[in-house]
A and B are shown apart, each in its own frame.
Chain A
């Protein structure tokens, strides 16, 4: 396969690549595999973040990931289920009334329970890192652009939300500085409460400025009337959704035939796809420079799928590879296939172009916030 160095990777390829890694992170409890997945996502995200991508995303999601692990462990310490194990320390235990029998408060904290909680937190944390990497690799706005037209309103909601977050952060900083200038408390409850109203007001104002700008640039002009799905399409879409849900529910019952569940899901998704494609024909929007899903994008997508496939095959060869139980006190299993699948994930680096250094000059508008307005 010959690849073109400068071909832009389709945003969908990056997001699916990240989804493969995130889904693997969510189904494994093997700490070594989790660490590997986290490293792959972070490395590729860092080395290939695009100009359009949310460059701060990776860092912030890393922070959120760490918080998730911390909170998960803290909850385990306070509320966790008490199984026998190596007790590290004991908290005073609170006797709860009989109606809260399932919940325990305090009590002995075991090393096993802590490790299990940390791993559970890590699963979510690594999935978040993968999501952050996806944000950095391809802007969510670009992803929204390729949604079928019948989901246009979803893409608007996302664009407004995306504009809202930085404005919110800016408004918070502005209020903080204003309080400093008046010598008022910045920290603590009173500080936050006083900031709340102006911050919300400021971000609502900018969200409304954005929507005014969108509307006066013809947003909803062509598709306004036809954007709503007609009744047959609506029925088809809803029944498709129902079928897919029912199929997913049946999956959970091993006693029922698997084929039934899968055929329900497939039919459901086919119906939804038909609605998305059929419904979007009516909308008269066009696309400037449509993105092309080229060879390199396929290569990136395959490298993501390779991670999933490699790990699933490894699991079928070495049972208990993905599921590791801290209570057994054994080393988590690894196999050469695990390494191979991590390398597969990293191979996305080979197919994607280096972020171009287009001689960018960022305007120092963040001198202090008041100046950015």
Chain B
């Protein structure tokens, strides 16, 4: 049992993260922590085993205790047998080099007998389906495998409580499902108490018992049952949004419930999908022809063809390591292909001078913070103006157009994830590149920030930009992409109109798409619009 007793946590006394929080998480419960980016989900999770404030600084008032042990009296190391804490980046958490050693590490620290260790390691290997990887060096694992090893590495101590910080945020949908299936097994078969933070509520709603949403404006945590959570538009997944807009009496949490609830609408909409005309872009801003790229013996790209037209959004999908980022790096001139041709605005990116190149292609990397150097937003904008030879104030004006309400005096690192992304985008857009490439832009964004990003990208498209977005996020792809290209093992496996590509397979489509399968409806808005249209003019 985890008890927060009138807890206030603050790094800066004037703006606490939570104020006066009292919460009890019962044994065997699966508690999901949600809330906008930067609202303090990680802080709250780290307070459970005392990493906050002992490791992070800041002030914690009130008391946090787990099974009667209070973090005020004991340090995080004394909670290893009670709380298994898995941080956001599994790779950064690895201490040893091989899977088996990593699993044994916590038990070595706690002084388990060698025979017990052997036994526990075997059990956890089976439980998380890691037995085939047991002798593998950790660096050779995929991200999903790493996440499962990181979970296993705390489970071997058999803690009654498991704390997971965004366990699926870096994963492609399949790997995320693997990890969630493992978590669900822990909750249901072993009765472990699980507390996890997650942006993508649609993924975790089926296993959650209660959901706590942090409201940064008044530093409070509001706890609700999964069926009630849907009242908060900032955290609601597409399925609940659909249910709300269609005024269903019960809000479905899973696709299965969604299909059962939507029988009427599905019957009504059969064959009503408006025909789509394939638009031919007037000119191409980027072309990749039969490109191969290898690092040593590893083939990252094997003969890829791709083109992006002006005024077109192309989505690049595929699992982690499929070659998406390599392709973006080629287009941005960070790498040259081993063979084949890459051209952006008619020229080869690596052959261009720095000035020309940023005028032809702008890449916003996965971690947009790396693009920002200055100590305030304003400084960042004015230095971008200077660099790109623009009139003073143009970048900050652009920023204002993209997103309102960014404080110009703020330090870029203090902005929310979404704001930072837009700031990086504004900086990259300064020289008016023909092609804009974004790598996993929705990672770490909440639903609202994602909706805003979709609007911004749609506007840039209308201004004639060619946009290439590498992403795992099917919902975003369904909303904005004109065409979708799916990569696997460095090859293009599917390409075409987004709707056609996404509807090809029920497991990789949007939530709405899964509910309406085999009809190719993808987004809430189009379903709602079509139904309204049908019902108003019979």
Q: Residues on A close to B: CB < 8 A?
A: 51-52, 139, 141-142, 159, 163, 167, 174-175, 177-178, 180-185, 194, 198, 206, 208-222, 224, 284-290, 358, 360-368, 370-373
Contacts and interface: CB of A to CB of B under 8 A. Distances in A.
B455 interface: no
Which residue among A210, A363, A367 has the maximum number of chain B CB atoms within 10 Å of its CB? A367
Given A208-B55, A368-B329, A217 B109 contact: yes
B51 A215 contact: yes
Contact of B95 (A194, A198, A210): A210
B329 to A, nearest CB: 4
A210 B93 contact: yes
Given A215-B75, A219-B77, A362 B110 contact: no
B51 A373 contact: no
Given A209-B87, A288-B114, A363-B321, A215 B95 contact: no
B92 A141 contact: no
B109 A362 contact: no
A218 B95 contact: no
Contacts of A288: 100-101, 104, 107-108, 114, 117-118, 121
B354 interface: yes
20 contacts: A178-B370, A181-B358, A182-B427, A184-B387, A185-B354, A213-B95, A215-B77, A216-B80, A216-B154, A217-B80, A221-B77, A222-B109, A285-B111, A288-B100, A288-B114, A289-B100, A361-B140, A363-B321, A364-B326, A370-B325
B371 A181 contact: yes
A30 B103 CA distance: 49
Nearest to B443: A373
A163 B93 CA distance: 10
A221 B117 contact: no
Contacts of B139: 362
A174 B109 contact: no
B105 to A, nearest CB: 6
A284 B111 contact: yes
Contact of B108 (A211, A286, A373): A286
B354 A216 contact: no
Given A218-B110, A370-B370, A177 B334 contact: yes
B354 A367 contact: no
Which residue among A194, A208, A212, A213 has the maximum number of chain B CB atoms within 10 Å of its CB? A213
Interface residues of B, number: 83
Contacts of B101: 288
A365 B108 contact: no
Interface string B25-55: 0000000000000000000001001010001
Nearest to A283: B111
A175 B371 CA distance: 8
B356 to A, nearest CB: 9
A370 B87 contact: no
Interface stretch (B201-209, B256-264, B361-369): B361-369
A362 B321 CA distance: 10
B106 interface: yes
Given A218-B110, A288-B121, A178 B105 contact: no
Contacts of B367: 174, 370, 373
B366 A371 contact: yes
B316 to A, nearest CB: 12
Nearest to A160: B95
A362 B145 CA distance: 12
B244 to A, nearest CB: 35
Contact of A183 (B79, B107, B154, B355): B355
Contacts of B118: 288-289
Contact of B334 (A368, A372, A373): A368
Nearest to B384: A182
Nearest to A181: B363
B113 A286 contact: yes
A209 B88 CA distance: 9
A184 B380 CA distance: 14
Interface string B51-86: 100010000000000000000000111111101010
Given A141-B97, A178-B365, A363-B321, A221 B55 contact: no
A214 B439 contact: no
Given A52-B137, A178-B370, A182-B428, 4 more contacts: A174-B370, A212-B76, A213-B85, A372-B91
Which residue among A183, A220, A287 has the maximum number of chain B CB atoms within 10 Å of its CB? A183
B171 to A, nearest CB: 13
Which residue among B91, B100, B142, B153 has the maximum number of chain A CB atoms within 10 Å of its CB? B91
A371 B140 contact: no
A292 to B, nearest CB: 13
Contacts of A371: 324-325, 366, 439-440
B55 A213 contact: no
A289 B100 CA distance: 10
B89 interface: yes
A157 B140 CA distance: 24
A216 B110 CA distance: 11
B465 interface: no
A221 B109 contact: yes
Contacts of A220: 77, 109
A367 B95 contact: no
B283 to A, nearest CB: 24
B234 interface: no
A367 B326 contact: yes
